[in-house]
Copies of this chain bind each other. A is one copy, B any other.
Amino acid sequence: MSSDASTVPAKTPVTLREVAAAAGVSVATASKALNGQGRMTAETRERIRDVAQRLGFRPNSLAQSLLRRRSFTVGLLTNDTYGRFSLPLMAGVSDALVDNGVSVFLCNVEDDQRLGQLHVEAMLDKRVDGIIATGKRIDRHLPVDLSDLRVPVVYAFTQPDPGAVGLVSDDAGGARLAVEHFCRLGRRRIAHVTGPAGFEVVHTRADAYRAVLQENNLAVSEPLLGAWSEAWGHEAVGRLFGKAGREGWPDAIFCGNDQIARGVIDALRERGIRVPDDVGVIGFDNWEIVAEATRPPLTSVDMNLATLGREAGLALLSLVGGQKAAPGIRKLPCRLVVRQSCGRPPGG
């Protein structure tokens, strides 16, 4: 290895937020000071510039283009303000924007098209620099037409309009993580218990499940479709383990969400079937409050929704800054959070 100073790992770039904090002003004020905009005393402006210089702040092209913008606000539209999926997503969006000195208008369009359009108009009235649309389900459009606005739009975890930029989780990849993990652990009879047929992700994940089993020369048993509930997890265990003959029983169950997995684990315990010794269980969503309370704690696929939100926020800022983005849907990877419900490798 060279001892040249240039090989010292690069420090994380100083952010506008850090400059603002060091100068004791808001991020928006720091932005304006560095860009020669806004009303403030010459002393204040000079002081903020000194701080920026002292910290080694270098506005990147993103920040530079942001500095040219007028409102430093972005609208966040959702029909699921207070849902389990949109929450981490919105937290990620918000973090990415606030880090760049941009404030967020939160707007719940519910499922009412008229209300949706009114909210979009109100946002445009307030001169937002752009809009992020998020929703309850990857396979549904928001009930609002964002196809012809004068500001850029990014879609996250909801169906984008054709020609728009959308970010979703890679559900097929997430399902592969779970089933491949079971295969590596030596499980041979892997069942899949999942949600209702009306959800696109049910089919995406079931297809990935089948594909992994085939790649591993394992028998594919038809996925059991039901509801996204604990009660369905219970019922599915009755179907899978009701028949006589232990040799026909699965030794692993990949569940379409964590609530189903909770029901499966409870029902197995009530039948005296041990998790993970007799049957391994993996869930989907990594809803921590559920996954950590199952006995044993639940291994689960995490859709990385906060990261997805963060990426959506940065994609919007990039569009606001005048950069072009290829339209279409970008799929972001999931990760497997391993707890105790899936077992250990043979001899491990």
- Which residues of A approach B to under 8 Å, CB–CB? 17, 20-21, 25-29, 73, 76, 81-82, 87-88, 90-91, 94, 98, 103-108, 114-115, 118-119, 121-123, 125-126, 229-231, 259, 262, 266, 289, 293
Contact = CB atoms under 8 A, between A and B. Distances in A.
Contacts of A289: 259
A49 B59 CA distance: 48
A177 to B, nearest CB: 25
Contacts of A20: 118
Contacts of A98: 107-108, 119
User: What copy number does this chain have within its complex?
Assistant: 2
A151 to B, nearest CB: 15
Contacts of A87: 81-82, 87
Given A21-B118, A27-B118, A103 B126 contact: yes
6 A-B pairs closest in CB distance: A26-B121, A82-B87, A26-B122, A106-B106, A230-B293, A82-B91
A106 B108 contact: no
A82 B88 contact: yes
A266 B293 CA distance: 12
A108 B81 CA distance: 15
A27 B107 CA distance: 13
Contact of A81 (B94, B229, B230): B94
A122 B28 contact: yes
Given A20-B118, A293-B259, A125 B94 contact: no
A26 B262 CA distance: 45
Contacts of A25: 118, 121
Nearest to A22: B114
A325 B63 CA distance: 43
Given A82-B88, A104-B105, A229 B293 contact: yes
B229 A114 contact: no
Given A25-B121, A29-B125, A259-B289, 7 more contacts: A21-B115, A28-B122, A29-B121, A73-B105, A103-B126, A231-B293, A259-B293
Contacts of A293: 229-231, 259, 262
A271 to B, nearest CB: 13
Contacts of A266: 266
A103 B114 contact: no
A106 B90 CA distance: 11
Contact of A105 (B21, B103, B122, B262): B103
The listed residue with most B CB atoms (<10 A of its CB), out of A26, A119, A266, is A26
Nearest to A83: B87
B126 A73 contact: yes
B26 A125 contact: yes
A81 B94 CA distance: 10
Given A104-B105, A105-B104, A107-B103, A27 B122 contact: yes
